[in-house]
Amino acid sequence: MGISKTQPVEILEQHYPLLFETYALREGSGGGGKSRGGFGVSYRIRLLRGEGKASFLMDHGRYGPPGMTGGDPGSPNEIRVGQADTVTTPEHVSKGEGYVLTPGDWIEVHTPGGGGYGPKDERDPASIQNDIRRGYYPDVSS
């Protein structure tokens, strides 16, 4: 199962013994800039029954996507795997394979945010206030 095409979670839950406990924008993950970077996505999936095997092959595990012409980088991706009472992160941060999952185990993924474009001190104040009003950022850090 791949999530990169952003299929509706309800369809995935109908076809696989999974429960999406969360699926949301990764607020604050876009790099600052005259035009801020787009947000990544955060989701947590729990295996409900049977046995599953998880593998990851992602980019930007150590460093987020770079900003351009003075923009800040976006956030790097993060992966956590919960198996019984143990929570781990793949050794290579964004690449891992062969995680055997049993009922109750979960996977949490935070995809990278995009890099910003241009210096953030040139960002339109109305755009900053709009992002804060929408809950994308807690303050003027956008």
Which of 51, 48, 53, 38 is closest to 111 using CA atoms?
A: 38
Q: Which long-range contacts (CB under 8 A, 24 or more apart) does 24-27 make?
A: 25/136, 26/75, 26/110, 26/111, 26/113, 27/135, 27/136, 27/137
Where does the pLDDT of residue 120 fall: very low under 50, low under 70, confident under 90, or very high at 90 and above?
very high
Please list the residues that pair with 106 across neighbouring strands. Answer: 46, 82
**In this predicted structure, what is the pLDDT of residue 56?**
87
- Position 77 scores a pLDDT of 92
Q: What is the pLDDT of residues 48-71, one digit of tens each?
A: 999 999 988 888 888 999 999 999
Question: pLDDT tens, 9-50?
Answer: 999 999 999 999 999 999 889 999 999 999 999 999 999 999
Take residue 115 and report the two structure tokens written for it: 């890099």
If you search the block for the tokens 């987020």, which residue do you land on?
A: 64
